């Protein structure tokens, strides 16, 4: 499975961005897919996850109500709509896939088997 993230950029505080993650190589509909982010000097942290089979979602407290994760089955693409962005959202954002079938949405990066290359999001104040 290959993941290709895109959509990052520079935006002012309060603005919006939509990240995309195109999956190729026959990703299974049983996977959980997620978005993580890593700011300079910090550990990679969970942002949001979605169970591909039933659309169940989970969010970090810091983004709940501002970010929305979704997927397009036909396009095998994962999205992250980010609204009301804050300077503390600045980070490299990664998409990831957990290949264990039908597992719960885990928030630990080590649980994910496949990773995209990351896309930079910078929010200016």
**7-50 confidence digits (pLDDT tens):** 999 999 999 999 999 998 777 788 999 999 999 999 999 999 99
Is the model's pLDDT at 101 over the cut of 80? yes
Q: What tokens does 14 get?
A: 């309060």
Grouping H, G, I as helix, E, B as strand and the rest as coil, residue 112 is coil
Distance separating alpha carbons of residues 83 and 15, to the nearest angstrom: 6
Identify the pLDDT of residue 27: 72
Is the model's pLDDT at 70 over the cut of 90? yes
43 CB-contact burial (10 Å; exposed 0-12 / middle 13-18 / buried 19+):
exposed
Identify the pLDDT of residue 60: 98
109 CB-contact burial (10 Å; exposed 0-12 / middle 13-18 / buried 19+):
middle
CB 52 within 8 A of CB 34: no
Distance separating alpha carbons of residues 11 and 57, to the nearest angstrom: 26
**What are φ and ψ of residue 11, in 5° steps?**
-145, 150
């Amino acid at each position: 499975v290959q993941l290709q993230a895109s959509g990052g950029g520079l935006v002012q505080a309060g603005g919006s961005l939509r990240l995309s993650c195109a999956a190729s190589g026959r990703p299974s509909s049983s996977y959980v897919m997620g978005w993580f982010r890593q700011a300079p000097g910090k550990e990679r942290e969970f942002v949001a996850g979605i169970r591909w089979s039933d659309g169940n979602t989970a969010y970090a407290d810091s983004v709940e109500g501002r970010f929305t994760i979704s997927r397009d089955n036909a396009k095998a693409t994962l999205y992250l709509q980010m609204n009301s962005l804050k300077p503390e959202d600045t980070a490299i954002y990664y998409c990831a896939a957990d290949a264990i079938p039908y597992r719960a949405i885990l928030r630990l990066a080590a649980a994910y088997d496949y990773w995209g290359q990351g896309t930079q999001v910078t929010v200016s104040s």
